[in-house]
Structure 1
Amino acid sequence: MVTKLYLTRHAHSVYTPDEWNRPLSKRGLTDAKKVTQILANENIDVVLSSPYKRAVQTVEGVANTIGKGVIHVEDYKERRLSEAAVDDFDAAITKVWEDFTFAWPGGESNIVAQNRGIQAIFETLETYEGKNVVIGTHGNLMVLMMNYFNSSFDFYFWKELDMPDIYALTFAKTELVKTKRIWTV
């Protein structure tokens, strides 16, 4: 019995420092409709999401299509890079990817964020075994979770992700057996 997880990076959002309530931009809302169309043919059973508004907005159309609500899962929220705003985001994010154990003050290291995300993945695989599950999440955490199973999903892979982006991960129990990108712009 296989379980398919559709890791869905949120669509483009309007920047605000409020991580929880940052909404999708006009472009993001249009792309969220495309996410719904793409996933409409995947026989989705359940939709989980980071509680952040932009992630929920990206996948809520899928939940509406299957007649169910979005289930918020705290551990699918984005990694916290730092407690305070960083002066140079590119340098800050590069540093945490170069050293998986490094964390900026008040932030999560890659290993801490990855462990949090993987715990959520394993709980999802156990709870929804044999189902097709959409997971609305964020780029950095998404790649860290994928990296746990295959190190080729790395910093450079993250930099190439679209916003939104969708990867279908097929599991036999907790073993990743196939990864396929299903988002096309």
Structure 2
Amino acid sequence: MNKNIYIIRHCEAEGQSSDSPLTEKGVIQANELSNFLSSDIKVDRIISSPFLRAIQTIRPFVENNNIEIELDSRLSERVLSSTFFPDWMEKLEATFRRMDLKYEGGESSNEARNRIVEVVNDIVEGNSDNTIIVAHGGVISLLLNHYDNNFGFEQWKTLSNPDVYLLHLTKNDAHYKRLWKVD
């Protein structure tokens, strides 16, 4: 087994709701991302969060390469809580230290991590060797934490919009590296 999974965080968006579109800058970023991905990355399959900003992020690449987007709700952003927290950053940080901590109407870090890991496990079982997944910073950071316990809250804060990581999986090994160069 030799699988490459390109993990993409969406470009700059106007908000956090599922129907928030990309900003003008985000649209430019999506085109730059398409050029970056087209340079030397082979892609067999694309799976995206159903959130509009994720779909709009990968759309230029899809249109230039005639590949279909599969939508998967397991790649949706994690809901921290249905309650507004003025100190949401501290609440989020606590969920990286206590992975089962769960706020009203939200999901724990373990729950969110388990669903995105399921997507990766499905990819591993499938026939595609080079897959793109497009998702969101919170759930991506939990996926990377699955492969590296040192990837936590502080690393989440360093994610950019967009961002690209390559997760390389073999029968006996899993490692990732950041491919996107942040200015």
TM-score (norm 1): 0.92
* Aligned residue runs from structure 1 range 15-34, under 5 A: 15=15, 19-34=17-32
Q: Is the 8 A contact 1:3 1:173 kept in 2?
A: no
Cα distance, 1:128 vs structure 2: 3.7
Distance apart, 1:89 and its partner CA: 2.1
1:84 alignment partner in structure 2? 83
Residues 143-162 of structure 1 aligned to structure 2 (within 5 Å):
143-162=141-160
1:69 deviates by: 1.9
Name the SS for the 1:44 alignment partner.
coil
Q: What are the within-5 Å matches in structure 2 for residues 1-185 of structure 1? A: 1-15=1-15, 19-40=17-38, 41-129=40-128, 131-173=129-171, 175-176=173-174, 178-185=175-182
Is the 8 Å Cα contact of residues 122 and 174 (structure 1) preserved in structure 2? no
Name stretches of at least 5 consecutive residues in structure 2 with no aligned partner. none
Secondary structure, in 3 states, of the residue corresponding to 2:41? coil
Cα deviations by residue, 1:99-153 (Å, 9 ceiling, x for unpaired)? 1110110101101111111111101221244x21111000110010111111121
Shift of residue 2, structure 1, vs aligned partner? 1.2
RMSD between superposed Cα atoms in Å: 1.5
Q: Distance in 2 between matches of 1:22 and 1:119?
A: 26
Q: Is the 8 A contact 1:117 1:141 kept in 2?
A: yes
In 1, Cα distance between equivalents of 2:56 and 2:19: 11
SS at match of 1:68: coil
SS in 1 for 2:169: strand
CA displacement at 1:173 relative to structure 2: 4.3
Percent of paired sites with the same residue: 28
Q: Stretches of 4+ moved more than 6 A in 1?
A: none
**Alpha-carbon separation, structure 1, partners of 2:119 and 2:84:** 27
